[in-house]
Structure 1
Amino acid sequence: MVNLVIFFFSSHVDYWFNEVKDRLVECFGPIDYQSEILDFEKYTLYYNKEMGEGVKGKLLGFERLIHPSQLADIKNITNNIENEFAVEGNRRFNIDPGYIHHMQFVLATTKMWPHRIYIGKGIYAEPTLMYINGCWKDYDFTYPNYKEEEYKRELERIRLMYLEKRKKFLR
């Protein structure tokens, strides 16, 4: 079992998160971790045309553990939620699901790339970070925001919570 993590980002992150939070809880269970607002726009301007300037995000951890095989279904659910709120094909927010295991952070994506593994239903898994010798290590292909200590600290908090949940699950 692994810990579901979502990176939710938008140019109006607080507004849209409040609009969608109940839906996320309905689909994935209670949120037990929510980071402070994280800068995202300094890493890429890719989303500005679609969402507007000032894109920021927050990392969310969920109380209920999931099986890694659920990741493709979860990504398709989050894509559907994004599309429901889109205006003229432009998303108002992005919901990027992934999971934390004690030794890795994995993200889901619809885009094929050589290091990504197809997991079904049009979805690929990207090994984004590995946990070795007491810290998160990134790869050459890791998204720039996840290479930053600020993001790694937030993921470490979720990882520690996950390890506690896992102890209870394994008893």
Structure 2
Amino acid sequence: MGALRRVELVNLVMFVFSSYIDYRFSEVQPLLEERFGPVDYISKNLDFDKYTYFYNNEMGYKLQGKLISFKNLIHPSELAEIKLTTNKIEELFKVDGKRKINLDPGYIHHTQFVLASTKHWANRIYIGRGIYAEITLMYVNGKFMPLDYTYPNYKDQEYIQELTGIREIYLKKRKEFYR
């Protein structure tokens, strides 16, 4: 029998995407910071429209996103509750029943990038309250590696570079925290 170990805290990360991302992000950032604490990193605008048309009828065209990192580390068990909270925040921005902003929370651990989802699939683990978690990228041999099922945007080097930068920020916070 293995001994139980303390679970390491992780870095809350969110992919925020929308049409008119700069405008929409300026509206939602205060709510996110009120709920999850200060943001310590905001990526450049990342093209999302080139990966899927799935959201266009609901959210419009020319979808772009930002990867953001929060300053405060979280316990990984909080991910389900965080996803439920971001779903409620998305509801606040609906127009005529259609979402105008999408908030995809996850976390970075030094070994992985994990995303939350409301949708079950074979590669996702149920974590409670109707939410599943998916290892989207693994950090192996000094870099993030996508898996067969990884969404195309997270396979893109531009996204991976941003997440690698957030991982570096996390490692510094982690070092301070566990000193």
- TM range, smaller chain: over 0.9
Give the match for residue 33 of structure 2: 25
1:50 aligns with 2:63: no
1:61 aligns with 2:69: yes
What TM-score do you get using the length of structure 1 for normalisation?
Answer: 0.99
Give the match for residue 118 of structure 1: 126
Task: Look at both structures and tell me which one has the larger radius of gyration over its CA atoms.
Answer: 2
Runs of 4+ deviating beyond 2 Å: none
Give the match for residue 80 of structure 2: 72
What TM-score do you get using the length of structure 2 for normalisation?
Answer: 0.95
1:85 aligns with 2:93: yes
Task: Give the length in aligned residue pairs.
Answer: 171
Q: Unaligned 5+ residue runs, structure 2?
A: 1-8
Q: What RMSD, in angstroms, separates the aligned Cα atoms of the two structures? A: 0.5
How far is the alpha carbon of 1:88 from its aligned partner? 2.4
| Distance across 1 between alignment mates of 2:39 and 2:93 | 21
How far is the alpha carbon of 1:10 from its aligned partner? 0.1
| Aligned counterpart in structure 1 of residue 142 of structure 2, from 130, 134, 137 | 134
2:100 aligned partner, one-letter code: R
| Distance across 2 between alignment mates of 1:63 and 1:85 | 24
**1:52-73 CA distance string (max 9 Å, x none):** 1100000000100000000000
1:122 aligned partner, one-letter code: G
1:6 aligned partner, one-letter code: M
Give the match for residue 163 of structure 1: 171
1:12 aligned partner, one-letter code: Y
**1:76-99 CA distance string (max 9 Å, x none):** 000000011112221001000000
Q: Find the residue that maps to 1:140 and give its secondary structure.
A: coil
- Percentage of identical aligned residues: 61
Q: Find the residue that maps to 2:166 and give its secondary structure.
A: helix
